Amino acid sequence: MARLKVCIRKQDSEKAKDGTYNIKIRVTHKSKVRYIGTDVNIQEDQIDNGEIINHPSSSLYNIKLRNILNLYEQKIIDLGGRIFHMDAQAITTYLRKVDVKGRDSDFYFLAGKIISDLNKAGRIKYAQSIEYTLSDLKGFSGPSLLFDEVTPEYLERFGTHQRIKKKGVNTTAIHYRNIRMIYNRAIDSEKADLSMYPFRRFKIKQAPTPDKDMDLEDLRKLRDAELKLKAQKRARDLFMLSFYMCGINFKDLLYAQKSDIRKGRLNQPRIKTKQPLSVKIMPEAQEIINRYAGGKYLLKFIEVKKKTTNRSRKSILHTDILSQVNIKLKDIAKALEIPYKLSTYYARHTWSSIAFNECGASEEIIGLALGHASPRQITAGYIKKKYDQVDRVNRAVIDLLSSSGEPSYPDPQ
C-alpha cells in the first residue's frame, strides 16, 4: 500500500528566493518515492514530523494539509486491487488529478479557478487583470495566502506596499476590486466565512480621473488635419466614426455586423452590459463606414485581423486593433499640438459633454444614447420617441462641430 507524508525537500534547487521551501506530499510505493507539491511555503525550521510549527498560520496550514492527506488516502483506497499494478509515478499522476478540497481556503487556488473560467468564457482581459493582481499579491505575501489572512489590516498593509512600489491609487483600487470579487466568490461557494468579510470595514479609495473630453476647436483640428500616413488617417477616421455614432464604444463598433443595420440604424446589445443600443447612421458616419466596409462585419478590421493573426497566438482581436489606434491617436495629438493623451475614449466622453453642456440634452437621453439606460426604465410606448430625441441630439452635436453657431437641438418637451 502507498504511504503518504507531509515534508519538505532540503535541496538547494528546492529553496525559493525568499529562503522558504514548498510543502510537498511524499508518495512512497514499491520502494519508490515521488512528490506532489502544494501551495504552502515555509521556512526550514517550521516543520516537525509532518506538522507545521512556529508559523502565524500553522493551525490553518495543518488543517489544510490534513484535508489533502485525507482526500488522497481515500482516493488510494478507492483504487482497490488496481494499486498493485501501479508504480509510484502512476499513483502520483492519479492523485494530482484530484480536485484538492484541502486547498479551498487558499486565496490563490480559488483565484486560479476564476482565471481559468474567465479565459474559457472569452473574458481574457478580465482574466489578465486578475493575474496582474495575483502577481502583486504574491510579491507582497509570498506564494500562499489564506482567506482568513485577508483582513482590513492586511489590505491597508498591501496599499502601503503598493505606494512604496510607486503604484497609483487607481491601479491599487483595481487590485482591491479584484480581491473583493474573489472573496465574494469564496463566500458564495462557502469557502470563506461571511463574518470575516474584510470589505465591511475597508473602503476602496480612488483618485479622480482626468476628464477625457476635447473642446470643439481641438476636435475640429483633428477632423480637418491633413494626415499623410495611412495608419494615422485610419485611426482618425475610426475616432470620428465613434463620435458621429453617439460615442459608440470601440469594441461594440468593431464587432457590429451588417445584419445589425435595419432602416438606417445600428441596433445591437452592448457587448459589456447587454443593454440595447440603437444609433441612427448619419451621413458623416456612413461615409467612413463605406471607406472601411467589411463582409460580415460592418467594418473590415476584425475580418482582416482574423486572417493575419496566427491561430496559436492567444490574442484578443479587438484589443490589438484598439492598441494600434490609440498609439496613432497619441502620435496625431502630439503632431497637432492637441493637449491630450488622446484615445478612443475621448470620442465617447466628448460626444457626451457636448450633448449635455452645449446642446442641453438630459442625462436620461445621453444614457440611452450610450447604452447605459435600461429600456425597463422607459415606458414601452415611449421608446421610439426617446430614440428620436437621441437622433436629434446627435444631429445637433454633429452640426455644432461643423459650424461656429449655436446648436439647433429642439426642446424635447
80 Cβ neighbours under 8 A, 6+ residues apart: none
Q: Within the chain, what is the greatest distance between any pair of CA atoms?
A: 90
d(CA 250, CA 239): 9
Question: What pLDDT shows up at residue 12?
Answer: 83
Question: Would you say the C-alpha torsion 222, 224, 226, 232 has a positive or negative sign?
Answer: positive
Q: Could you tell me the pLDDT band of residue 379, with boundaries at 50, 70 and 90?
A: very low
Question: Cell numbers 475614449 label which residue?
Answer: 345
- Please report which residue ranges of 97-224 form alpha helices under DSSP H: 107-120, 124-141, 152-164, 169-188, 216-224
The per-residue pLDDT for range 111-146, each reduced to its tens digit, is 888 998 888 887 888 889 999 999 999 889 876 687
The per-residue pLDDT for range 242-296, each reduced to its tens digit, is 999 999 999 999 999 999 999 999 999 998 888 889 999 999 999 999 999 999 9
d(CA 328, CA 234): 9
Which grid cell sits at 267? Answer: 441596433
Query: In degrees to the nearest 10, what's the CA dihedral of 23, 24, 25, 29?
Result: -150
Question: Which amino acid is it at 139?
Answer: G
Tell which residue, 79, 76, 82, 61, has the closest CA to residue 28.
76
Tell which residue, 213, 288, 198, 205, has the closest CA to residue 244.
288
Angle (deg, nearest 10), helices 88-96 and 58-79: 120
Residue 51's DSSP bridge partners are: 48
* More confident position, 317 or 182: 182
Element (H, E) at 330: helix 317-335
Q: What is the pTM of this model?
A: 0.61
Question: What pLDDT shows up at residue 386?
Answer: 76
* Nearest-5° Cα angle at 245, 361 to 402: 75
Q: Which range is least confidently modeled, 11-15, 256-260, 381-385?
A: 381-385
Task: Specify the DSSP class assigned to residue 356.
Answer: I
Residue 182's DSSP bridge partners are: none
Residue 52's DSSP bridge partners are: 47
Q: Are 36 and 95 spatial neighbours (Cβ–Cβ below 8 Å)?
A: yes
Determine the distance from the C-alpha atom of residue 155 to the mean position of all C-alpha atoms in its chain, rounded to a whole number.
21
Kindly tell me if the per-residue pLDDT of 95 is higher than 90.
no
Question: What pLDDT shows up at residue 313?
Answer: 58
Percent of the chain whose pLDDT exceeds 70: 90
Q: Which range is least confidently modeled, 186-190, 232-236, 240-244, 401-405?
A: 401-405
Rounded to the nearest integer, the mean pLDDT of the chain is 87
d(CA 17, CA 384): 64
Tell which residue, 39, 68, 42, has the closest CA to residue 56.
42
Determine the distance from the C-alpha atom of residue 298 to the mean position of all C-alpha atoms in its chain, rounded to a whole number.
26
Q: Are 270 and 372 spatial neighbours (Cβ–Cβ below 8 Å)?
A: no
Segment 54-65 shows an average pLDDT of: 87
d(CA 244, CA 395): 9
Segment 341-369 shows an average pLDDT of: 92
Kindly tell me if the per-residue pLDDT of 190 is higher than 50.
yes
Q: How many CB atoms lie within 10 A of CB 9?
A: 14
d(CA 183, CA 188): 9
Question: Cell numbers 430625441 label which residue?
Answer: 389
Q: Are 227 and 236 spatial neighbours (Cβ–Cβ below 8 Å)?
A: yes
Segment 343-365 shows an average pLDDT of: 92
